Structure formats: structure tokens, C-alpha cells
Amino acid sequence: MLYSSVLALLGAVAVSAAPVQPFINGTKLPDSSVKQAGGAPPNGPPPPTLSQTAIGAFQLANFLENLESNYFQTGLYNLTQWGAGAVGGVDNVAFVGKVAGQEEVHVATIEKLLSHFNATTLNSCRYQFPVTNTHDFFALANIITSVGIGAITDLASSLAGSDPLLIQSAASIITVEARHDSYFRMTAGEVPNPAPFDIRISGAWAYNLALPFVIPGSCGALPASMTSIPVFPPLSVVPAGPPPFAPNTPPTTITFSVDETKMPAGYASKPLFIGWVNQANTVIYTPVTVQGKGVLNSDVPQTLNGMAFAALTGQNIAPDVGTLTTQTMAGPAPVPFS
């Protein structure tokens, strides 16, 4: 929902405590969203062709942007209820209103491209987000946006091989997402720029990172490009808690947990590692000590900054996130370090 319409609703005082679930569909973008976002989808002609690879990659981007769009539309409403602050003289509600509008425009842009090539666009799912206050909202916004940045960086990388004419639109989205993330970090007093590089994550990792927020069965039929993505058992950081920003002092060890019933039999009898993906570096592996049923302990590399993603794996040589994805046993888990 737009900032202006939230204010109109609040003005009418008819708003009950029941959260509204507004959702603006990409292909029917209202003028008010465009105004709020500061602009419309690109108005130039689409490229002459769209590869099958790119169709699948943009369908995943559609899925992820739908989630972000819902998060910021519903979160905007929540912020007006929770009471919001400001960063550097910018009001949080005004800022998130722009974020919500811009995510709607991103969804519309991707759906316009897919529709032009007669490819299936993705309906929004229903979502559950574990946030009940402004602090947790921005902490999860940082995590969700870091996932988006990682996934669109991967999209850009893939387009370089298949559809180079589209790299520019992907790159133009990444920089805007990064500005969003800078602000989220600053709400917690964190510097906006913790590291010189952002992360690329694989599409499969991004999908798995999004799934905990998607109400199972609520997405309708997904295209084959999505149903073919592997679903990994979750890897959780212990103790569980609300979505975190980075702690003041980075941890030297982390305990993770997995649901043993979802793991292959005997998985813990072989050497296990955590693969850490951070910035534009090769994967760092640390050995795992099994502490108990589904309880796994690992040292933390001391070179991680910003957001890192950790996955449980049975090997320690896959050099990059693409090859680690094919060797992922559980996860990934997002872990903010600074």
C-alpha cells in the first residue's frame, strides 16, 4: 500500500487493528505507485529475443520481487502502527513508502518483460514474516534485501552469457536495492557500507532463503523453472530469535541446528563443513563438530564482513557458490557479521 493511501486510511480512522493485506499486482501498476516510486518501468523497446535461461531466471526474480513487494507494502502499513523514527532527517515511513513503490515497479518491469515473450508471470504468494516491531522489521528488511541483491547479481552474471542487452536493467535494479539496504542498516546505527563487494548467491539459494516466509501451497502453480529448483533442509542459527542485525562483537563460533528427520541417514558420520560465502571471494570452509542430534558447531572465519551466507556441506573444495549449491546438504542461513 502506498504511503499516501496509508495516510488516507489513517485519516479515516476506520482502520482496525486487523492488518490489511494490500497487494498491488505488477501488471496493473497504478499511477500512484509510479509516482511514489519516482518512475515507471523502462519505456524503451524490449530486446529482440529472450533466452529460455533468462526466462527461468526472470521467473525466479519475479518470485523474489513479489515477496519483497509484499514485505514492504505490508510493512509500510505496520510502521504507521508501530511508530517509526527517522534516519538523517528522512522519515522511515516516507522512505519505506518509496521502497514499496519501487518494488512494485520492479515486479511490473519483470512481468512486462516475461509477458512480452509470452512467458508465465508469477502470482504473488501469501507470506508470513516474523516481525512485530520496527527494529525487527528493518533487521529482516536487511536480510531479505541482501538476498535480493545476491540473486540479482547472479541474474546479471547469467545474462552476460545469454542476454547481454538485459544486463543494464538488472544492474540498475541492484544499485537501488543497495540504497535500500544502506538505509536499513543505518536504522540500527550500522555503517551503510560494511564491505567493498556485495555477494552473489545462486538462484537455488535465493529460493531456499525465501521459502521460510512463503505460506506453503499459497503460490498456485509454479512454472517448471521454479519447481525444478532443489529444496534443502533448513540450517538454523542457535539460539533462534527475531531477525538480527550484526552483533557488536562478531562470534568466533556458531552453533547451527538441522532437523535430523529431513537429513539423509548417516549424514553426521562423515566429515561435515560449513561453507561461508561472503563478498566476491571463494568459499571459506570450516569443519563442523557434531554436538548432539542435529546440533552442529563450527568456528567462524574472522574475515567476514557485512552479510554472509552459510551452508552445511560434506566437502571443502567447491570454490564458488554455484558449485557449493550442488553440494549443499542444508541451508543456506543468512548470518550478518558487521
Q: Judged by CB under 6 A, does residue 309 bind ligand NAG?
A: no
Residue 184 in contact with ligand NAG, rule: CB under 6 A: no
**Residue 272: which residues within 8 A CB-CB, separation 6 or more?**
287, 288, 290, 296, 312, 313, 314, 329
**Residue 132 engages ligand NAG in binding (rule: CB under 6 A):** yes
Q: In angstroms, what is the minimal distance from the CB of 76 to ligand NAG?
A: 8
The C-alpha cell 535494479 sits at 173
Q: Between 29 and 318, name the residue whose CB sits nearer to ligand NAG.
A: 29
Output 59 or 298, the one with its CB closest to ligand NAG: 59
Residue number with CB closer to ligand NAG (59 or 74) = 74
Q: Return the number of the residue (138 or 276) whose C-beta is nearest ligand NAG.
A: 138
Contact partners, residue 261, CB within 8 Å, separation at least 6: none
If one counts every other C-beta atom within 10 angstroms of the C-beta of residue 319, the result is: 10
Helix%, strand%, coil% for the chain, nearest 5: 45, 15, 40
Choose the stretch contacting ligand NAG; rule: CB under 6 A; options: 93-101, 116-124, 169-177, 291-299.
116-124
Phi-psi group of 238: left, alpha or beta (phi > 0 → left; psi -120 to 50 → alpha; rest → beta): beta
Query: Is residue 115 within the footprint of ligand NAG (CB under 6 A)?
Result: no
Give residues 60-99 in contact with ligand NAG (rule: CB under 6 A). Answer: 71, 74-75, 78
Q: Are residues 232 and 328 in contact, defined by beta-carbon separation less than 8 angstroms?
A: yes
H/E stretch holding 228: none
36 binds ligand NAG (CB under 6 A): no
Binding site for ligand NAG (CB under 6 A): 19, 23, 25, 71, 74-75, 78, 117-118, 123-124, 129, 131-132, 137
